[in-house]
Amino acid sequence: MGCCPSRLPAGPAGAARPVRSAEIVEIADATPPGQAAFAGGRSHVGTRRPEIPEDGEGPVRPVRLRPFRCDSFPVTNARFAAFVAATGYVTVAERFGWGQVFAGLMNPAEAAAARAFPGTPWWRAVPGACWHAPEGPGSGITGRASHPAVHVGWDDARAFATWAGGRLPSEAEWEHAARGGLDQARFPWGDREPDDTGFLPCNIWQGRFPDHDTAADGHAGTSPVGAYPANGAGLHDMAGNVWEWTADPFRVRSAKSAAAARNAHARQENQRVTKGGSFLCHISYCYRYRIAARSGTAADSGASNTGMRVFYDG
């Protein structure tokens, strides 16, 4: 089980109110993102050092990539707001009427009253939670224009990417970009493991998960994009902050019966590979902020730690 919940069979009753264009023009405009270009050619996906082999992190598989580009940052609230203002798009969470919210980000009384997810009780099903109300009614994104947009489902991510003139990446493209020229590196910066005090190269959990976050890096929850150093290709937040969608269906390459059962479940939920981990990851629990780490997430699922990044052909 990862830091993200399984999909509930049904959400709370009610529907989120889609945000109106007049409400989002108040969000500060964001500087257009920079991009990194990759020449393509031979690369690989996976690792020789799987930490969670049941996720299908290994083995290493050679791939050949076409030239591609990607944004230097995850999609921000400001960019997503511009997309909604231009198109009138309504996200999956808004259509469903609820979103998945980490309880530690909520008012304690509201968290106690909200429905908990089986197996991951630190997650709550919150009516009205969506990209412009990340913690539910009463919350908002004022002051968070440069934070990554969250509660973004796979269909939402594809719609935004198309509007932006791009697409979602393959898992192989995402890993190639995350390495930034470091062959077989565990993290975008190399192999040094983050700690809870002195070496804080990305936005992940510090402390004891899930009930004590020291926020030693200055961030509890999402952080502004670019708050941490870039990798060798100039890409920020390829580890931590928010999970990022890929185009690929989730599948574990193994002949073991457990893998077959997991793959069947992934097909049933239309799971897609998400990469990069989030602010909720920690070596003691969800050790998935490594480049080769991966998670299977239902395409119609979004959460307060799930966002996206746009890739482009050529």
What's the rounded Cα separation, in Å, for the pair 290 and 305? Answer: 16
Spell out the alpha helix ranges (H) of the chain: 21-24, 77-87, 92-96, 108-113, 154-163, 171-179, 257-268
Report which of 218, 77, 213 is spatially closest to residue 140, judged by C-alpha positions.
77
Is the residue at 274 inside a domain? yes
What's the rounded Cα separation, in Å, for the pair 314 and 312? Answer: 7
Taking only the tens place, the pLDDT of each residue in 161-191 is 999 999 999 999 999 999 999 998 999 999 9
- Residues 179, 186 contacting (CB under 8 angstroms): no
The number of helix segments (H) and strand segments (E) in the chain equals 7, 14
Q: 43 in helix, strand or coil?
A: strand
The verdict on whether omega for the bond into residue 210 sits within 30 degrees of 0, i.e. cis, is yes
Report which of 165, 195, 115 is spatially closest to residue 314, judged by C-alpha positions.
165
Q: 38 in helix, strand or coil?
A: strand
Q: What is the pLDDT of residue 27?
A: 52
pLDDT confidence band for 5 (50 / 70 / 90): low
46: left (phi over 0), alpha (psi -120 to 50) or beta: left
Statement: residue 206 has pLDDT above 70: yes
Which 8-state DSSP code applies to residue 140? -
Is the residue at 261 inside a domain? yes
Whichever domain contains 210, its CATH number is 3.90.1580.10
**Mean pLDDT confidence for 109-116:** 95
- Residues 236, 73 contacting (CB under 8 angstroms): yes
- Residues 167, 187 contacting (CB under 8 angstroms): no
Taking only the tens place, the pLDDT of each residue in 24-69 is 444 545 555 699 999 999 999 999 999 999 999 999 999 999 999 9
The pTM assigned to this predicted structure is 0.92
Statement: residue 7 has pLDDT above 50: yes
Is the residue at 13 inside a domain? no
> What are the C-alpha distances in Å from 225 to residues 208, 237, 291?
24, 7, 18
Q: How many domains does the chain have?
A: 1
Is the residue at 180 inside a domain? yes
Is the residue at 184 inside a domain? yes
Which 8-state DSSP code applies to residue 68? E
Token look-up 């089980």 returns 1
Q: Quote the tokens at residue 5.
A: 């919940």
**Residue-range definition of the domain harbouring residue 217:** 34-89+147-313
Q: 177 in helix, strand or coil?
A: helix
Average pLDDT, the chain: 91
Is the residue at 97 inside a domain? no
Taking only the tens place, the pLDDT of each residue in 230-278 is 999 999 999 999 999 999 999 998 878 889 999 999 999 999 999 999 9
What's the rounded Cα separation, in Å, for the pair 288 and 296? Answer: 12
138: left (phi over 0), alpha (psi -120 to 50) or beta: left
